[in-house]
């Protein structure tokens, strides 16, 4: 059973209170949103991919527990400037490692929500005029 | 700093703390070596030694399948299983023993009515009247039935304080209404619904009534004949009994007229290769090997509850609930879901604008040993109606104490401090922010 100091480490609370690129991207080429129906966590990720499949920019938005939102911020920061291939190669285990503290299976779902959304987002082009 | 608000508690309304000794699990530690305060009783309850012993006693001495052997153990098991049916009959005051059907739980009981009665009786345009506060298990089966039959679902709206809007109920009740299916007690709001009034008005309009009693039978005395209810559903695991068993009560004439739902062994009278004739009640609705040992355990749980008395249990829970409600009401920024204490049973759910229910459940468990539920508690439409994604729920039973409520409050205040904005800054990794 991880203790609270472990679970809510300072850098995690930092990401929660001061997230990386929370908001929307007017130039998004790809976007996806999903939720964890069990607890109502929601994460949306908007990506701007260039022709070479490189992430020019990426933003996330959402609502939910500290783990779901801080992990989204950490993931987006990690993937900024990387390529689609990097995203596809980034495994769930690596996501859990990036987050840090050991999580019980139920809380792993919170942590992996943004990872799942990002994996789907690269396959979800935004119809032009769809986003504003 | 002291965190416990000075709210009075009437200890004369409480049950003796010594009864906690009957529940071995209550001396467990959870989280960071905290003594357990189990406040998740609306999800499932714990079992006293008397129930645990009854269960192991069956397995050690009398277990066999029921209704099919002439050997000693089968006769013993059959007798115990049928005795369990009798104790349920007495608990809810059913007129006939065979009006008590053992199922796997409330969900199975409601599905049985939705499939069997619903498919046989609902026509396109007929209406089933539910409410916004229903548990998914009293919504989804009716959505499925509506899809099969063309029946229309209507929902009784709620008042601002989380009670059924009874004026709207009367407007929604028309000659098209064939069934009203509502919870006696909301598992999220705690609201005690006026079921006697609902039943009387529904009957006057020519509709039948199913009561989801999952949260009422364990906590309040229920008399099906006095209520004149048509169907009643509840679960063993929410009343100190094992999981895997529940009850469907139905009036004899209704159950007799309904086609069997599940087909298989036990529910038949005679089987030929291409046809069968169904058994009489209650076997008609108990296809296959029933939850033999869970039913016997449930009966031991009923004995235990009756030895203490449901009225005394209700008084105990009401006092704890009022105590918790008053203390939580003093916490700034906390929104209590549902009505004032006098309209509610033994639970309090709450939400915070800024802090997700997960944080409460996690920290309450790890640092305070308090087990609460975080999420939507199988009432997504109700949460959507309330405009929140999730809530935290503390639900009480006969073994809970005011000291446990104090730990809950202390924990809630700690979470509030822990996740208060502090002007934290993330270490910058990216140049272009
Ligand atoms: C009001 C209500 N109805 C139905 C159910 C479903 O009960 P079970 O899961 O035992 O079938 C529950 C339990 O969560 C409940 O609280």
**Å between A15 CA and nearest CA of chain B:** 6
Residues of chain A neighbouring B375 (CB-CB closer than 8 A): 38-40
Residue B292 CB partners (closer than 8 Å, separation 6+): B58, B63, B65, B66, B77, B81
Whether omega before B282 lies within 30 degrees of 0, making that bond cis, reads: yes
- Measured between CA atoms, the residue of chain A closest to residue B387 is A40
CA atoms of A55 and A118, how far apart (whole Å): 12
- Helix, strand or coil, per DSSP, at residue B169: helix
β-pairing verdict for B334-337 and B347-352: antiparallel
Q: What is the pLDDT along chain B (433 residues), one digit of tens a residue?
A: 445 557 999 999 999 999 999 999 999 999 989 999 999 999 999 999 999 999 999 999 999 999 877 899 999 999 999 999 999 999 999 999 999 999 999 999 999 999 999 999 999 999 999 999 999 999 999 999 999 999 999 999 999 999 999 999 999 999 999 999 999 999 999 999 999 999 999 999 999 999 999 999 999 999 999 999 999 999 999 999 999 999 999 999 999 999 999 999 999 999 999 999 999 999 999 999 999 999 999 999 999 999 999 999 999 999 999 999 999 999 999 999 999 999 999 999 999 988 999 999 999 999 999 999 999 999 999 999 999 989 999 999 999 999 999 999 999 999 999 999 889 999 887 665 5
CA atoms of B322 and B340, how far apart (whole Å): 9
CA atoms of B217 and B228, how far apart (whole Å): 15
C-beta neighbour count of A93 within 10 angstroms: 8
The DSSP-derived string for B121-164 is H--TT-EEEEETT--GGGTHHHHHHHHHH--EEEEE-B-TTSSB
Q: Could you list the residue range(s) of the whole structural domain that residue A31 is in?
A: 4-121
pLDDT tier, A5 (very low <50, low <70, confident <90, very high otherwise) = low
pLDDT at residue B257, rounded to an integer? 98
Q: Are B46 and B25 in contact (CB under 8 A)?
A: yes
Kindly give the distance from the C-alpha atom of residue B216 to the centroid of ligand 1, in angstroms, as a whole number. 11
Distances (CA, A) of B91 to B96, B100, B217, B392: 12, 11, 9, 31
Q: Provide the CB-side half-sphere exposure for B233 (13 A, CA).
A: 22
* A-B C-beta contacts closer than 8 Å: 80
pLDDT tier, A2 (very low <50, low <70, confident <90, very high otherwise) = low
Probe target for ligand 1 pocket from B138, B214, B345, with the most ligand atoms within 8 Å of CB: B214
CA atoms of B164 and B157, how far apart (whole Å): 6
User: Vertex A42, ends A38 and A44: CA angle to 5°?
Assistant: 150
Q: Which fold has domain B11-30+309-418?
A: 3.90.1150
Ligand 1 pocket: which residues have CB below 6 Å? B 42, 105-107, 135, 137-138, 183, 187, 212, 214-215, 235, 246, 378
pLDDT at residue A6, rounded to an integer? 74
Q: Does A64 touch chain B (CB under 8 A)?
A: yes
Q: Are B175 and B126 in contact (CB under 8 A)?
A: no
Residue A128 lies inside a defined structural domain of this protein: no
Closest CA to B164 of B335, B338, B322: B338
Residue A66 lies inside a defined structural domain of this protein: yes
Residues of chain B neighbouring A21 (CB-CB closer than 8 A): 433
CATH number at residue A59: 3.90.1010.10
Which residues is B347 bridged to in the sheet? B395
CA atoms of B151 and B142, how far apart (whole Å): 9
- What token pair was written down for A109? 């779902």
Q: Does A15 touch chain B (CB under 8 A)?
A: yes
pLDDT in tens, A23-47: 999 999 999 999 988 778 899 999 9
CA atoms of B116 and B223, how far apart (whole Å): 24
| Atom of ligand 1 minimally distant from the CA of B43 | 14
- What token pair was written down for B289? 């090997």
Residue B261 CB partners (closer than 8 Å, separation 6+): B111, B112, B115, B116, B285, B287
Q: Where are the domains of chain B?
A: 11-30+309-418, 51-306
Dihedral over alpha carbons B374, B376, B377, B379 (to 10 degrees): 170
Q: Are B271 and B56 in contact (CB under 8 A)?
A: no
pLDDT at residue B430, rounded to an integer? 63
Residue A95 lies inside a defined structural domain of this protein: yes
Element spanning B90, H or E: helix B72-92
Closest CA to B267 of B111, B96, B70, B103: B103
- What token pair was written down for A84? 């689609």
Q: Does A98 touch chain B (CB under 8 A)?
A: no
CA atoms of B162 and B261, how far apart (whole Å): 35
CATH class, B51-306 region:
alpha beta
Probe target for ligand 1 pocket from B235, B344, B397, with the most ligand atoms within 8 Å of CB: B235
Kindly give the distance from the C-alpha atom of residue B108 to the centroid of ligand 1, in angstroms, as a whole number. 10
Q: Does A83 touch chain B (CB under 8 A)?
A: no
Residues of chain A neighbouring B366 (CB-CB closer than 8 A): 1, 3-4, 7
Compute the radius of gyration of chain B from its Cα atoms: 23
| Sheet-wide strand order for B334-337 | B334-337, B347-352, B391-395, B373-375
Probe target for ligand 1 pocket from B110, B132, B137, with the most ligand atoms within 8 Å of CB: B137
- What token pair was written down for B261? 């739902």
Q: Which residues of B are catalytic?
A: 378
CA atoms of B250 and B231, how far apart (whole Å): 4
Nearest to B363 among A4, A17, A18 (CB): A4
Please give the tally of structural domains in chain A.
1
C-beta neighbour count of A15 within 10 angstroms: 26
Chain A interface, best mutation among B426, B427, B428, B429, by max A CB count within 10 A: B426
pLDDT at residue A131, rounded to an integer? 44
pLDDT at residue A37, rounded to an integer? 80
**Crossing angle of helices B49-57/B292-308, nearest 10°?**
150
**Å between A39 CA and nearest CA of chain B:** 5
- Measured between CA atoms, the residue of chain A closest to residue B384 is A40
* Start-to-end C-alpha separation, chain A: 45
Q: Are B48 and B23 in contact (CB under 8 A)?
A: yes
For B142-178, letters b (16+ CB in 10 Å) and e give: beebbeebebeebbbebeeebbbbeebbeebbeebbb
**Å between B393 CA and nearest CA of chain A:** 13
Nearest to A17 among B362, B366, B422 (CB): B422
Residues of chain B neighbouring A38 (CB-CB closer than 8 A): 375-376
CA atoms of B255 and B249, how far apart (whole Å): 9
Which residues is B95 bridged to in the sheet? none
Q: Does A72 touch chain B (CB under 8 A)?
A: no
With an 8 Å Cβ cutoff, the interface of chain B facing chain A consists of 31-32, 356-359, 362-363, 366-367, 374-376, 380, 383, 388-390, 418-419, 421-427, 429-430, 433
CA atoms of B114 and B108, how far apart (whole Å): 10
Provide φ and ψ at B412, rounded to 5°: -60, -40
What ipTM does this complex have? 0.84
Kindly report the length of chain A. 132
Closest CA to B392 of B346, B342, B358, B428: B358
β strands within B274-372, DSSP E: 276-278, 334-337, 347-352, 370-371
- What token pair was written down for B312? 């005394």
Kindly give the distance from the C-alpha atom of residue B44 to the centroid of ligand 1, in angstroms, as a whole number. 9
β-pairing verdict for B276-278 and B373-375: unpaired
Nearest to B358 among A18, A73, A110 (CB): A110
Distances (CA, A) of A109 to A90, A112, B78: 16, 5, 45
Q: Which residue has the tokens 């549902």?
A: B338
**Å between B363 CA and nearest CA of chain A:** 7
**Å between B429 CA and nearest CA of chain A:** 8
Which residues is B330 bridged to in the sheet? none
Residue A126 lies inside a defined structural domain of this protein: no
pLDDT at residue B33, rounded to an integer? 92
């Amino acid at each position: 059973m991880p203790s609270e100091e472990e679970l809510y480490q300072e850098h995690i609370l930092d990401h929660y209170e001061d997230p990386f690129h929370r908001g929307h991207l007017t130039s998004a080429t790809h976007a996806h949103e999903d939720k964890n129906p069990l607890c109502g966590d929601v994460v949306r990720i908007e990506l701007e991919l260039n022709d070479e499949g490189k992430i020019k920019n990426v933003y996330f938005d959402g609502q939910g527990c500290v783990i779901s939102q801080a992990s989204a911020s950490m993931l987006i920061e990690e993937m900024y400037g990387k390529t689609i291939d990097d995203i596809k190669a980034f495994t769930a285990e690596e996501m859990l490692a990036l987050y840090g503290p050991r999580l019980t299976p139920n809380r792993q779902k919170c942590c992996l929500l943004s990872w799942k959304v990002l994996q789907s987002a690269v396959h979800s082009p935004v119809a032009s005029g769809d986003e504003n | 700093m002291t965190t416990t608000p000075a709210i009075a508690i009437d200890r004369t309304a409480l049950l003796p703390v010594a009864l906690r000794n009957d529940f071995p699990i209550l001396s467990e530690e959870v989280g960071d070596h905290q003594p357990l305060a189990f406040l998740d009783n609306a999800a499932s309850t714990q079992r006293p030694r008397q129930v645990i012993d009854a269960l192991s006693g069956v397995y050690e001495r009398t277990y066999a399948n029921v209704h099919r052997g002439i050997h000693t153990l089968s006769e013993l098991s059959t007798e115990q299983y049928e005795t369990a049916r009798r104790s349920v009959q007495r608990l809810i005051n059913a007129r006939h023993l065979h009006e008590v059907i053992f199922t796997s739980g409330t969900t199975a009981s409601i599905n049985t009515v939705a499939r069997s009665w619903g498919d046989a009786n609902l026509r396109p345009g007929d209406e089933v009247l539910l409410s916004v506060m229903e548990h998914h298990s009293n919504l989804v089966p009716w959505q499925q039935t509506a899809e099969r039959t063309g029946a229309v679902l209507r929902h009784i709206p709620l008042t601002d304080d989380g009670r059924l809007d009874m004026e709207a109920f009367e407007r929604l009740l028309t000659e098209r209404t064939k069934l009203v299916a509502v919870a006696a007690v909301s598992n999220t709001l705690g609201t005690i619904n006026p079921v006697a009034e609902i039943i009387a008005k529904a009957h006057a309009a020519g509709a039948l009534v199913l009561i989801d009693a999952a949260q009422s039978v364990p906590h309040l005395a229920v008399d099906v004949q006095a209520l004149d209810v048509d169907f009643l559903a509840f679960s063993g695991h929410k009343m100190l009994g094992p999981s895997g068993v529940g009850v469907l009560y139905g009036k004899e004439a209704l159950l007799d007229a309904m086609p069997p739902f599940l087909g298989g062994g036990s529910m038949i009278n005679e089987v030929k290769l291409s046809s069968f004739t169904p058994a009489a009640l209650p076997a008609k609705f108990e296809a296959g090997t029933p939850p033999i040992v869970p039913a016997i355990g449930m009966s031991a749980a009923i004995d235990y509850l009756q030895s203490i008395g449901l009225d005394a249990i209700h008084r105990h829970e009401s006092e704890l609930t009022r105590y918790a409600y008053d203390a939580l009401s003093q916490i700034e920024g906390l929104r209590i879901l549902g009505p004032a204490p006098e309209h509610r049973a033994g639970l309090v759910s709450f939400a915070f604008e800024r802090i997700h229910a997960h944080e409460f459940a996690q920290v309450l468990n790890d640092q305070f040993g308090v087990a609460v539920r975080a999420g939507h508690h199988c009432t997504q439409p109700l949460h959507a109606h309330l405009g929140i994604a999730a809530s935290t729920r503390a639900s009480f039973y006969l073994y809970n104490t005011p000291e446990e409520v104090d730990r809950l409050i202390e924990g809630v205040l700690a979470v509030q401090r822990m996740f208060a904005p502090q002007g934290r800054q993330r270490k910058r990794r990216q140049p272009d922010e």
